[in-house]
């Protein structure tokens, strides 16, 4: 009984193909085991600077908060602009939103209202995009307070209510509450309820 010649050809081609896929030829970029190890090591080495840069963004925000409390707004804004540039360079949208919120609060404290509102609006868009209910609530709260101090109670109430809606949604998802970020004097949920209760 002779094997079918077509069957032998298919099996031979399959075996040769499988053996060939494991070899590293210069022209076809197959990855050998040592190259894979070098790649993994390089990937870890690249992750370390990114972690350092994330720590830098956090540090800059925290220092800016301290400076703003000491009424050193110019220095605080410089730090926040640097943090914003790093977060944008890394594509860290969450940190970009946190930093924009902090920038808005400092502009607001200096009565630079157009710049403050622009920063809040940018943070709001990013937080909506990310679906980050906690930070979205904080941004709504900041905008509510922004309108509150300008004697625009209807707009303030509108944004405070959106703050509470998003905070309540976040309470249903405990993982959303696990990542604290430095914020300049955020209004708490209880303060927001109190403000609305006084209206």
Question: What pLDDT, on the 0 to 100 scale, is given for residue 187?
Answer: 57
Residue 34 lies in a domain: no
pLDDT of 104-117, one tens digit each? 999 999 999 999 99
Using pLDDT thresholds of 50, 70 and 90, give the confidence band for residue 13.
very low
Residue 17 lies in a domain: no
Residue 52 lies in a domain: yes
CB 99 within 8 Å of CB 107: no
Number of structural domains the chain divides into: 1
CB 155 within 8 Å of CB 180: no
Q: Tell me, what CATH number does 84's domain have? A: 1.25.40.10
- Measure CA of the first residue to CA of the last residue in the chain; give whole Å: 96
Residue 73 lies in a domain: yes
pLDDT of 46-75, one tens digit each? 444 677 888 999 999 999 999 999 999 999
Interatomic CA distance for residues 155 and 157, integer angstroms: 5
Q: What is the residue range of 129's domain?
A: 44-197
Does the pLDDT at position 34 exceed 50?
no
Residue 177 lies in a domain: yes
Residue 37 lies in a domain: no
CB 142 within 8 Å of CB 105: yes
pTM (predicted TM-score): 0.66
């Amino acid at each position: 009984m002779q094997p079918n010649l077509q069957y032998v050809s298919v099996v031979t081609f399959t075996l040769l193909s499988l053996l060939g896929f494991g070899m590293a030829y210069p022209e076809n970029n197959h990855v050998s085991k040592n190259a894979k190890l070098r790649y993994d090591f390089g990937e870890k080495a690249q992750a370390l600077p990114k972690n350092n840069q994330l720590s830098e963004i956090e540090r800059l925000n925290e220092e800016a908060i301290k400076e703003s409390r000491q009424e050193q707004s110019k220095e605080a804004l410089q730090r926040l602009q640097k943090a914003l540039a790093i977060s944008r360079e890394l594509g860290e949208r969450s940190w970009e939103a946190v930093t924009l919120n902090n920038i808005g609060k400092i502009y607001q404290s200096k009565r630079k209202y157009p710049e403050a509102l622009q920063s809040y609006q940018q943070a709001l868009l990013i937080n909506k995009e990310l679906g980050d209910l906690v930070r979205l609530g904080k941004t709504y709260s900041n905008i509510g307070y922004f309108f509150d101090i300008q004697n625009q109670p209807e707009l303030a109430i509108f944004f405070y209510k959106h703050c509470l809606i998003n905070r309540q949604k976040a309470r249903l998802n405990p993982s959303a509450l696990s990542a604290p970020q430095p914020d300049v004097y955020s209004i708490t949920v209880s303060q927001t309820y109190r403000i609305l209760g006084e209206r």
